[in-house]
Structure 1
């Protein structure tokens, strides 16, 4: 290479560095998604692996990082991933649900591109097509604060992820067949922690090693399919520091309930006798609870963990009181979840109240779940694509879910209708969602694209008079909310994130059988300041499969 060529390359390299340094950093991941045989509960079965790992690899970023994940689908069925809790500001194109995206066909690949904008916290990802979630394919996604942003606790010695969830020993295809033929799934067969069941006999290899006197961060997520879970440390307390992207008032707990889809962080100090101890997880609100353990070992451990496990609390009233103890840390200066500018949410006038009532029933002899009498079905053409190509009227109807729902069937029961379900949201309105659960089991709901304020959970039915009981000062800003039996929950949020967003129950069975809908929020004028263009690599399917891609909007 001559000197002239070296000079040219040096100039190009310098220009590249300047360009890169002008943007937030990029993180690149390449995933090969395959099947493998593992025994999470001691029974060999087909499990989804990502780069030969179960759970999948951790995506570990910093606030405002740009994340690119190139997914190669080596399965025998279509595949999508969703990034549970990542708000995808202005970018529902990357949401990874069947209402927003065409699935990746077998043998093909697709690159997700999103930014973890103004976020910190503990999240996870999982597959959304079919019942692939029942075969695994999930993994942790964490976002830490930038170096100059103070965090309200000292840096821990290490940062560990604990993915806890219930597990079925039937294959995902068997489970899907059960639902498709009108049956329910029944009870899971056990619990797994990071894909392992743990025997609790003192012979398991340690999952985590602790240095005496040091403090560690444990990020828990309930990645299960049916059950709420209680977690606790044998002989140790937990200092709660973060819930789904919000730093919270640091109360100390002996145990914590984590409902489906929820994540939280605790600090644990290794200040006990140097030996082995168990992390204990058990299902809640079930007649015969399942329990799993993971071993933590002090570096100079002298003896195995005691077989005497700490007990879980009883009753959902205890769980409700724990929810009421969670408070947002208003003095912390770290990245705050959106909606931006609504920290004083209690002083914002409510633009609209949408009451959501869950129900179950049979349609043509098959089990279905519904919200306000509508059981969602995914059309062959994703709803967001139908909107973008101007063919919405051929794919779905808006507002089949009514704001103030009353049962329409005989004897006051719900009449269930199967349709794609989309609510039209008004840009930058401040909305109150009331979720009523008349059923006998705890439910958990997730809202994609947003962090909302979880202002109330109470027994009974909601009425406007209940607003006097709301926490309008320091409710935690988060993305999931549980609703106890014969109770209601209330969340508030500003609809300032343009796009199409999925609101879903976190129960795999109920979600698959229709207990979800989409919230469509679009700015009054088309602008890249409010919503990104459709990606140039976007997959097409359904009635728009062979249509040319529209000309991108230019600022």
Structure 2
């Protein structure tokens, strides 16, 4: 079989990790990952976790702009598995997106080989499992896409780079958490916060997680890979210079702390310029961004890690920097991010839509999230539709010409009523015209935070205000230097507007990064079709692609 041949080649060339081959095309990186269960005690109690190559969190997928990735995943779990690449824009290739709407799951005891390219990208991202609540058990890790040597970055090369995954954590098994949601209830607050799968006490007895040489500058790639909580990230007695934000180089401002919403990644430079030469505490704390007074008063959970100066000694100071406490501080921080238009790096949206302020809007889509009980079960919805994944992946149904047997397009409207009467459960798929320039407005009428991600794309976050959106709000848009990114926060009782060109053919998942909300229906898929059906617009169905549902035994369409 093709998969077996690819794995044989992978094993011979890569042995256990990776190898790069030089062809006439862009370089190839080969990886082999084994996904298994294991036992860890991140909060002091042994519990089952999901490991990648024996690691929790998993290994960093390290690459460079335009590298081709061939990643053979062996599923040693007792349940199906899919991995997605949060923020990686798989150009013309939603076949590798790793969501239930695009791919058949990898059955237990089998393997599958992902093929995708880091096309025209740089930056800090991460991967994670998308089925059920597997994310609550691990299976995630960082993704680094380095800039090619010929394209300089707008800062000096750091002494070293560190990946920092921060996340809220439950001590319950992920299957038990899923049963709670299936029973109609919501999840309680997490039990703690971890940094790279651990938390320190800060009493001088902890082993350091990171080392810094006095006077040297280090790059920290920070991603919130958690389930639900916005986390405030800060380093005791050190300031952070923001140099990259989900693949974009922003204006380089200094920050004492950063609110990192679920699904978001930042890269900062930190200089070891403190003359005390002792240990310092890195902190990630829950922000409790809610308008419900009861939730706002919930106890703050904090994860810690130790940074040690090389040659230094002494316990860290017990005086730790506090986190901000109000919502407006976080809103203002997001607004402070501006794109560095002079940075000489790969631009997202290769059709030139970085000149987004000069493009006429072809379509406006308003997406309103709501939540209510449906048949005695909690369901979240977009414009009144709570998404349900069918047995046949949406992309496969579309490609095989049997979409009408699996789902209906556009069952939601672009402009929902002010009051959504009820929630229905169904696959939620909308069509958007290829290469059209679209305005999407998210309205969050709930008292909890939301964070939305769009696979396959980066977009420009141009507006964010409290209340309800209306066309006259466009007067306040930033149409010059808004940051291009793939994840956007939508604050309680606020709206957020984004602009983008839909120039990447495929079936792409727009979802809440709050795992509970996504699992209970707060997501949809966007279908971008090309009239030409040319290879230049979209790759053909790979020969090794798994088939399931009603297309399992159908003849494959011609390439």
After TM superposition, where is structure 1 displaced by more than 2 Å over at least 4 residues in a row? none
Within 5 Å, give how 1:302-317 maps onto structure 2. Answer: 302-317=313-328
Aligned residue in 2 for 1:8: none
Unaligned runs of 5+ in 2: 1-20, 289-295
Cα deviation code 1:55-99 (max 9, x no counterpart): 101111000000111000000000000000001000000000000
Aligned residue in 2 for 1:332: 343
Verify the 8 A CA contact 1:339 1:450 in the aligned structure 2: no
- The one of 422, 433, 439 aligned to 1:415: 422
Deviation of 1:413 (Å): 4.8
Aligned residue in 2 for 1:342: 353
- Using the size of structure 1 for normalisation, the TM-score is 0.95
Cα deviation code 1:478-535 (max 9, x no counterpart): 0000011110000010010000000000100000000000000011211000000111
Aligned residue in 2 for 1:503: 510
Aligned residue in 2 for 1:450: 457
Deviation of 1:20 (Å): 3.6
- The one of 376, 381, 384 aligned to 1:370: 381
Distance in 1 (CA, whole Å) between partners of 2:181 and 2:554 is 34
Distance in 2 (CA, whole Å) between partners of 1:340 and 1:453 is 14
Distance in 2 (CA, whole Å) between partners of 1:284 and 1:202 is 26
Cα deviation code 1:13-64 (max 9, x no counterpart): xxxxxx9431111111101100001011111110000110011011110000
Within 5 Å, give how 1:66-465 maps onto structure 2. Answer: 66-272=68-274, 273-285=276-288, 286=296, 287-406=298-417, 412-465=419-472
Distance in 2 (CA, whole Å) between partners of 1:246 and 1:464 is 28
Aligned residue in 1 for 2:524: 517
Cα deviation code 1:138-173 (max 9, x no counterpart): 000010100010110000000100000000011001
- Using the size of structure 2 for normalisation, the TM-score is 0.94
Distance in 2 (CA, whole Å) between partners of 1:414 and 1:56 is 43
Aligned residue in 1 for 2:292: none
Deviation of 1:546 (Å): 1.3
- Match of 1:317, SS? helix
Cα deviation code 1:94-133 (max 9, x no counterpart): 0000000000000000000000000000000000011110
Unaligned runs of 5+ in 1: 1-18
CA distance 1:317–1:142, change in 2 (3 Å): same
Aligned residue in 2 for 1:4: none
| CA root-mean-square deviation | 0.9
- Match of 1:453, SS? strand
Cα deviation code 1:398-427 (max 9, x no counterpart): 0012100015xxxx4540000000000101
Distance in 2 (CA, whole Å) between partners of 1:526 and 1:212 is 57
Aligned residue in 2 for 1:536: 543
Q: Which moved more, 1:297-306 or 1:160-169?
A: 297-306
Aligned residue in 2 for 1:12: none
Verify the 8 A CA contact 1:359 1:414 in the aligned structure 2: no
Deviation of 1:200 (Å): 2.3
Distance in 1 (CA, whole Å) between partners of 2:131 and 2:350 is 29
Aligned residue in 1 for 2:30: 28
Distance in 1 (CA, whole Å) between partners of 2:486 and 2:421 is 28
Verify the 8 A CA contact 2:530 2:537 in the aligned structure 1: yes
- Match of 2:334, SS? helix
Verify the 8 A CA contact 2:243 2:250 in the aligned structure 1: yes
Aligned residue in 1 for 2:55: 53
Verify the 8 A CA contact 1:454 1:475 in the aligned structure 2: yes
Verify the 8 A CA contact 1:249 1:328 in the aligned structure 2: yes
Distance in 2 (CA, whole Å) between partners of 1:20 and 1:146 is 15
- Match of 2:164, SS? strand
Count of matched residue positions in the alignment of Structure 1 and Structure 2: 530
Verify the 8 A CA contact 2:125 2:246 in the aligned structure 1: yes
Verify the 8 A CA contact 2:202 2:315 in the aligned structure 1: no
